[in-house]
Chain A
Amino acid sequence: MTENTTQLVVETHELGKRYGDRIQAVDGLSLNVRRGEVYGFLGPNGAGKTTTLRMLLGLIWPTTGSALVLGAKPGTSRALARLGSLIETPTFYPYLSGRDNLRVLARYARVPESRIATVLADVDLAGRAGDRFRTYSLGMKQRLGIAAALLKDPELLILDEPTNGMDPAGMAEMRPFIRSLGRGDRTVLLSSHLMGEVEQVCDRVGVISQGSLVGEGTVDELRGREGLWLRAEPLGEAQRLLADFRGVEEVERDDDGLRIAAEPAAAVEINRALVEAGIAVSELRPERASLEKVFLELTNAEEEA
C-alpha cells in the first residue's frame, strides 16, 4: 500500500469470499478509500459489490485476505460506531412507523433520540415519519434507509445502490444530496451500476468485475485523454494519411468513423491536410471516451480473460 495509511478509511488486502467449491464472489480484492472522498464502487450486477460491502460491515466473513475499516476490524463496535450504511434494499420493521424504526436504531447505536428529527428532515421524510414503514413507497423506504445511515453522523457512509427504486426526479434530487454528504471529512463509499450516478457524484471510482478490481482512478483518469473523432470519405484513405501525421499517436476505426489519439488543438491542421488530400470531411470533433465505454471495456476484458 503506497498511501498514507492514516488517511485510508477503508483498506482491503487480497480480500476474497468463496461459497462452496464453485462460487468465487470476491477474488483477491485490494481497495483503498481515502478520508473525505466520495468513492464509487462500480460494477455490473453480480460482480461482487454487495458481498464486498457486507464483508466491510462484518455481516459476511471473508474466506481469504483482510480488511480494515476506520482502522478497525470489520464488524467490531469500534468500526461500526463510526459508520453508517445502507445495503441493498432498506430493511426495517414493517409494523413500526419510520420514526419508531429510527428510535430502535438510535437506542442500538447509543445516539440521542433528538437526532431522529434532524435526519428525517435531511431526507425530507418528516411529514410521513409517523406512518408505518409497510405503507412507504420504495423511494420513501430508500430515504428512510439513508436517514438511518446518517443517525450516527458517521465518518464513513457505505451506500449500496442508494437510488434503487427511485423515480427520475427522486434520483436527480438524491445525487447532489449524496455529493453533499461527502463534503468535509466524511467519506462516502457508494456502490452503483449506474454510470451517470457515479460520474456525477464520485471523486474516484473503482471498477469491479467478477470479484476483482479491474480499474481505479478519478473519472477523468478512467476516461483517458481527450482526442478527436472523425467522419470522412473515403475513410480508409483518411486512416492511412493520419497514421503518419505529426502529432497523431494512434488512429483506430470506431463504427463509421475514426478515433484519433491527438490533442484537440490539432484539429485545424488535420482538417486542412485531409481536404488538401481530396478527402471529404463531414465531421471532426473533440471526443473523450464515456465512462460507460471504459466500464464496458474493462469488464468485458475481464470476462474474456
Chain B
Amino acid sequence: MIRIVSAELLLLGKRASTWILLGIWAALALTFAYVVPYVQYTNDPSRASLAELLPESLVGTLMAGFPFFGGVLALMLGVLTIGSEYGWGTLRTLFTQGPGRLQVFGAKLIAIAATLGMFVLVAYALGVVSSLAIAAAEGANVTWPSAWLLFRGLAGGWLIFAAWAALGMLLAILTRGTALATGIGILYAFVIEGLFSALAGEISVLDRLVEFFVRANGYSLVAVLGVSPDDVGDRGPGSFSGPFVGGSQATLVLAAYTAVFVVVAAWLLRRRDVV
C-alpha cells in the first residue's frame, strides 16, 4: 500500500492544478483573514478589531474561510483527483496493474487526505507569519492560543475539507468526469445550501433541514472554535446566518458525511464497468 500511495502522491505533486488550488487558497486565506481587515483597521480602527488579527486569535480568524471558499477548493481537489482519470482514461491503466479497485481508491483517499493536511498547514503557517507581522507593526504583545485549541482548529479545518473533498470525489465518480461534477458541486454549495439557509429564517420547517447541511455544520464547527457568527453572516455569496448547531453535532455530521460519500463512491467504483 505504501508504494501505491507514493504513486498517488507523485501524481498529485506533479500536477499543476494541485499547486494552483493551493496558491488560490493561500491567497484567499491571507487576503480575507488578514490583509483586508488590517487595511480596514489602519483606515478606520473603529471598523475592525486589532485583537482578531493578533496571534492569540489565530484559530478564530483563519477558520472563517474554511467552510466558505476553502470547502469549494477542497471539493474541486476531490473532483480533479478522480474525475480527470475518467477523462484521460487512466483509471483503466491503474485498474490493470495488480491492486484491486478498492486499494486504488484507498491510495487516492490517503493521498488526498495528506494533501488536504498540507492545505490546512499552509493556511496556519501564513496565519502565524501574518499575525506576528501585524503584532510587530502595532507593537502588540504576542500570546498564542492554547495547544488544544490549535489542535482542534487544525483537525476541524481538515474535517471540513475532507467532507467537501469526499463529496467532490463522489460527484466525479457519479458523472465520470470533472466538468459536470464541479458544476454540480458549486451549484450545491452556493445555490442550494445557500438558498435554503437564507430561507430557513422565514420557513421554520427548513431550519431542521439546514442543520444537516455540510455548510451549516462547517460554519457551526468554526463558530465553536472562535469564529464570530456576525463575521460569517455578512460575506457575500458565502455568508451564513444560521441555524448553528453544537460542536459535537457538527463534528459528527461532517464525519458521517465524509464516511457516507467515501463508502458510496467506493461502492460505485468497484461495481461499475470501466470503459
Interface residues of A (CB under 8 A from B): 54, 57-61, 75-77, 80-81, 83, 85, 87, 89, 91-96, 100, 103-105, 107-110, 148, 152
Please give the distance in Å from A152's CB to the nearest CB on chain B. 8
* A143 smallest CB distance to B (angstroms): 15
Known: A54-B275, A59-B274, A105-B93. 14 other contacts (CB 8 A): A54-B274, A57-B95, A57-B96, A59-B96, A60-B273, A81-B98, A92-B88, A92-B93, A95-B14, A103-B7, A107-B7, A108-B99, A110-B98, A148-B93
- Kindly state the interface size class of chain B when it binds its partner: 20 to 34
Contacts of B100 in A (CB 8 A): 76-77
By beta carbon, the residue of chain A nearest B5 is A107
What does DSSP make chain B's interface, helix, strand, loop or mixed? helix
A91 engages B90 (CB within 8 Å): yes
Q: In the complex, A107 Cα to B104 Cα: how many Å?
A: 12
Closest to B100 in A: A77
Over the window 91-123 of chain B, the binary record of Cβ atoms lying under 8 Å from chain A Cβ atoms (1 yes, 0 no) is 011111111100010000000000000000000
The 8 closest A-B pairs by CB, nearest first: A91-B89, A107-B7, A108-B97, A107-B3, A60-B273, A109-B97, A59-B274, A81-B98
Point out the residue from B15, B94, B273 that lies within 8 Å of A61, measured CB to CB: B273
B90 touches A92 (CB 8 A): yes
Complex contact B16–A95 (CB within 8 A): yes
Q: Which residues of A contact B3 (CB under 8 A)?
A: 107-108, 110
Most A CB contacts (10 A, CB to CB) among B6, B15, B89 go to B89
A59 CB contacts on chain B under 8 angstroms: 92, 95-96, 273-275
Assess whether B11 is interfacial by the CB under 8 Å rule: yes
Bound CA–CA A148/B97 (angstroms): 10
Contact B273 A104 (CB under 8 A): no
B28 within 8 A of A: no
For the complex, is B50 an interface residue (Cβ under 8 Å from A)? no
Q: Is the Cβ of A104 less than 8 Å from the Cβ of B98? A: no
Decide yes or no whether B51 CB sits under 8 A from chain A: no
List, in ascending order, chain B residues with CB within 8 A of A109's CB: 97-98
Question: CA–CA, A83 to B96, complex, Å?
Answer: 8
B98 touches A107 (CB 8 A): no
Q: How far is the CA of A92 from the CA of B84 in the complex (A)?
A: 11
Which residues in A have their C-beta under 8 angstroms from that of B133? none
Contacts of B4 in A (CB 8 A): 107-108
Which residues from chain B contact A77 at a C-beta distance below 8 Å?
98-100
Most chain B CB neighbours (cut-off 10 Å) among A61, A93, A110, A148: A93
Q: Which residue of A lies closest to B16 (CB)?
A: A95
- Docked complex Cα distance between A92 and B99 (Å): 17
Contact in complex: A100, B10 (CB < 8 Å): yes
Cβ of A93 and Cβ of B90 under 8 Å apart? Answer: yes
Q: Collect the chain B residues with CB atoms within 8 Å of residue A61's CB.
A: 273
Supply 11 A–B pairs (Cβ within 8 Å), ascending by A. A57-B92, A59-B92, A59-B96, A76-B100, A80-B96, A92-B90, A96-B11, A96-B14, A105-B7, A107-B3, A108-B7
B20 to chain A, nearest CB (A): 12
Can you name the residue of chain B whose Cβ is closest to the Cβ of A108?
Answer: B97
Expressed in whole angstroms, the minimum distance between the Cβ of A59 and any Cβ of chain B is 4
Cα separation A105 to B88 with both chains bound (whole Å)? 15
Q: What per-residue 1/0 map shows which CB atoms of B178-212 lie under 8 Å from chain A?
A: 00000000000000000000000000000000000
Cα distance, A105 to B89, chains bound together (Å): 14
A294-B200 Cα distance, complex, nearest whole Å: 73
Say how far B81's CB is from chain A's closest CB, in angstroms.
12
Nearest Cβ distance between residue B222 and chain A, in whole angstroms?
34
Determine which residue in B14, B92, B93, B96 has the highest number of CB atoms from chain A within 10 A of its CB, and name it: B96
Q: What are the residues of chain A within 8 A of B93 when measuring CB–CB? A: 91-92, 105, 148
For window 1-27 of chain B, which residues contact chain A by CB distance below 8 Å?
3-4, 6-7, 10-11, 14-16
Q: Given the complex, which residues of B lie within 8 Å of A95, measured CB to CB?
A: 14-16
